[in-house]
């Protein structure tokens, strides 16, 4: 009887609490066992308050990117819409040196835990991507087989496409200057959501670009990497079989061959942070033929970050652009846990500054690849760098809708 009484007591108590209007003045939230615990941030103006995830949930619970809600986008939550989704592609059977990027998505999520610890406001970009009104979710990982590359590459394309062709959660809204309604910049005229893919080795960008092509047609690409990744299969890997010809050093060659990326008269595609040795100068001619311009890593000493940003913006213009970031663009001093490290790279600070310089560009989707956590330090240097780099990408995306004013 005593047990029953206490149950009844709790019930009445709970009703009383839920009927109570929630305000930050509450001394102790009566529903403190609710998970995850959310606190109230007073905001900048009188009477304003914002719900924030607090420090005590940063290191507890199931890990998603930046503590975003996990949505099972590819199975039971197929009807769920969103504006920006994080999506893992745990594939690493296209690597030439160190394997291990299949653990990249899990590692990057772990490295992202602290992103909302102080609220997530991006000071230089003057935006809080987590409170910008967009619906952000973590869609988990695409199921990827480790036994058959051909099959895995199709899985990645289909998984990405499935999300890309879902309608965006939020309408495009109006142009901030003219107030005129925005129309989509996609080729199919639809308002697509954006996907930030967590790799995976760089091979995944071939199926990702196949998916992007289905909505945007041939796309401009900004590619940060120490390597070209446009090598001919006969040069990179020797192409002993059709399958071996598609790997993390050749996928851009194939993307160019398939017409997935912009090429020809209007050069609109470029690499940044290049510093690899070559099989010979012909590699650069081959890279030219794939449509890329190059910014060498060492140019940061002469141009600075401002000069590099200028070069990127002049190349891409206001075209829709896909952004692919190989973590090896960052120097191994800052990001050692990667498949093919190259010394002489940019610092994490320099890459973050350059990414913020993309503010205003129409980045239709993005990825970060080649994070192989097994080679990281115990301090999670690389996964933290990867997560923080994506925070800049997310902030830039949150500021610029994928729309234009109709002519
Ligand atoms: Mn690469």
Rounded to the nearest angstrom, the distance between the alpha carbon of 232 and the centre of ligand 1 is 14
Rounded to the nearest angstrom, the distance between the alpha carbon of 44 and the centre of ligand 1 is 42
pLDDT, tens only, 291-319: 999 999 999 999 999 999 999 999 999 89
pLDDT at residue 50, rounded to an integer: 54
Rounded to the nearest angstrom, the distance between the alpha carbon of 391 and the centre of ligand 1 is 20
pLDDT at residue 264, rounded to an integer: 61
Q: Which CATH superfamily is domain 66-405 in?
A: Ureohydrolase domain (3.40.800.10)
pLDDT at residue 269, rounded to an integer: 85
pLDDT at residue 18, rounded to an integer: 39
- Is residue 327 within 8 Å of residue 98, measured between CB atoms? no
Rounded to the nearest angstrom, the distance between the alpha carbon of 271 and the centre of ligand 1 is 10
- Is residue 35 within 8 Å of residue 56, measured between CB atoms? no
β-pairing verdict for 182-184 and 403-405: antiparallel
The Cα 75–Cα 112 span in angstroms is 24
367 forms beta bridges with 197, 324
pLDDT at residue 312, rounded to an integer: 96
The Cα 126–Cα 189 span in angstroms is 30
The Cα 285–Cα 277 span in angstroms is 14
The long-range contacts involving 343-350, CB below 8 angstroms and separated by at least 24 positions, are 344/275, 344/297, 344/298, 345/226, 345/273, 345/275, 345/297, 346/273, 346/297, 346/300, 348/385, 348/388, 348/389, 350/300, 350/305
Rounded to the nearest angstrom, the distance between the alpha carbon of 236 and the centre of ligand 1 is 13
* pLDDT < 50 regions, the chain: 1-24, 26, 29-37, 53-55
Rounded to the nearest angstrom, the distance between the alpha carbon of 215 and the centre of ligand 1 is 24
pLDDT at residue 407, rounded to an integer: 72
Rounded to the nearest angstrom, the distance between the alpha carbon of 326 and the centre of ligand 1 is 5
pLDDT, tens only, 20-69: 444 445 455 444 444 444 555 555 556 555 555 444 567 877 899 998 99
- The answer to whether the pTM exceeds 0.85 is yes
The long-range contacts involving 23-30, CB below 8 angstroms and separated by at least 24 positions, are 23/49, 24/49
Rounded to the nearest angstrom, the distance between the alpha carbon of 225 and the centre of ligand 1 is 5
Rounded to the nearest angstrom, the distance between the alpha carbon of 248 and the centre of ligand 1 is 6
Sheet holding 292-296, edge to edge: 136-141, 84-89, 194-199, 362-369, 320-326, 220-224, 269-274, 292-296
The Cα 19–Cα 31 span in angstroms is 12
The Cα 19–Cα 149 span in angstroms is 55
Rounded to the nearest angstrom, the distance between the alpha carbon of 227 and the centre of ligand 1 is 6
Rounded to the nearest angstrom, the distance between the alpha carbon of 59 and the centre of ligand 1 is 31
Rounded to the nearest angstrom, the distance between the alpha carbon of 251 and the centre of ligand 1 is 9
Rounded to the nearest angstrom, the distance between the alpha carbon of 229 and the centre of ligand 1 is 6
Rounded to the nearest angstrom, the distance between the alpha carbon of 202 and the centre of ligand 1 is 5
pLDDT at residue 40, rounded to an integer: 53
* Burial zone of 343 (CB within 10 Å; 0-12 exposed, 13-18 middle, 19+ buried): exposed
pLDDT at residue 293, rounded to an integer: 94
Domain ranges across the chain: 66-405
The Cα 247–Cα 368 span in angstroms is 16
- Is residue 162 within 8 Å of residue 82, measured between CB atoms? no
Per DSSP, the residues of 365-384 read EEEEE-B-GGGS-TT-HHHH
Rounded to the nearest angstrom, the distance between the alpha carbon of 338 and the centre of ligand 1 is 10
């Amino acid at each position: 009887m005593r047990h029953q009484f206490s149950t009844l007591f709790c019930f009445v108590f709970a009703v009383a609490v839920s009927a109570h209007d929630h305000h930050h003045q509450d001394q102790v939230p009566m529903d403190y066992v609710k998970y995850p615990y959310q606190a109230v941030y007073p905001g900048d103006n009188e009477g304003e308050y914002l719900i924030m995830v607090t420090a005590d949930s940063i290191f507890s619970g199931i890990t998603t990117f930046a503590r975003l809600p996990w949505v099972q986008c590819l199975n039971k939550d197929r009807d769920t819409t969103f504006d920006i989704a994080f999506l893992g592609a745990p594939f690493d059977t296209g690597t030439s040196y160190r394997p291990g990027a299949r653990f990249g998505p899990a590692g990057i999520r772990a490295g992202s835990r602290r992103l909302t610890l102080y609220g997530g406001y991006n000071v230089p970009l003057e935006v809080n991507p987590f409170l910008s009104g967009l619906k952000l979710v973590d869609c988990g990982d695409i199921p990827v087989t480790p036994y058959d590359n051909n099959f895995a590459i199709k899985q990645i394309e289909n998984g990405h496409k499935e999300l890309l062709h879902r309608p965006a959660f939020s309408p495009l809204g109006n142009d901030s200057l003219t107030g005129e309604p925005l129309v989509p910049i996609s080729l199919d005229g639809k308002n697509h959501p954006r996907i930030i893919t967590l790799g995976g080795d760089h091979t995944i960008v071939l199926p990702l670009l196949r998916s992007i092509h289905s909505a945007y047609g041939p796309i401009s690409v900004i590619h940060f990497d120490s390597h070209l990744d446009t090598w001919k299969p006969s040069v990179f890997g020797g192409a002993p079989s059709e399958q071996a010809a598609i790997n993390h050093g050749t996928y851009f060659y194939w993307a160019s061959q398939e017409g997935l990326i912009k090429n020809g008269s209007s050069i609109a595609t470029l690499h940044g942070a290049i510093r690899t040795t070559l099989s010979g100068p012909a590699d650069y001619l081959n890279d030219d033929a794939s449509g890329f311009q190059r910014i060498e890593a060492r140019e940061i000493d002469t141009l600075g970050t401002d000069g590099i940003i200028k070069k990127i913006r002049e190349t891409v213009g206001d075209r829709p652009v896909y952004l692919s970031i190989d973590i090896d663009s960052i120097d191994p001093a800052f990001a050692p846990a990667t498949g093919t490290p190259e010394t002489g790279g940019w610092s994490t600070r320099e890459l973050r500054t350059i990414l913020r310089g993309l503010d205003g560009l129409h980045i239709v989707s993005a990825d970060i690849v080649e994070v192989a956590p097994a080679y990281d330090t115990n301090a999670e240097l690389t996964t933290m760098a990867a997560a923080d780099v994506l925070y800049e990408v997310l902030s830039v995306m949150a500021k610029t809708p994928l729309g234009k004013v109709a002519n």
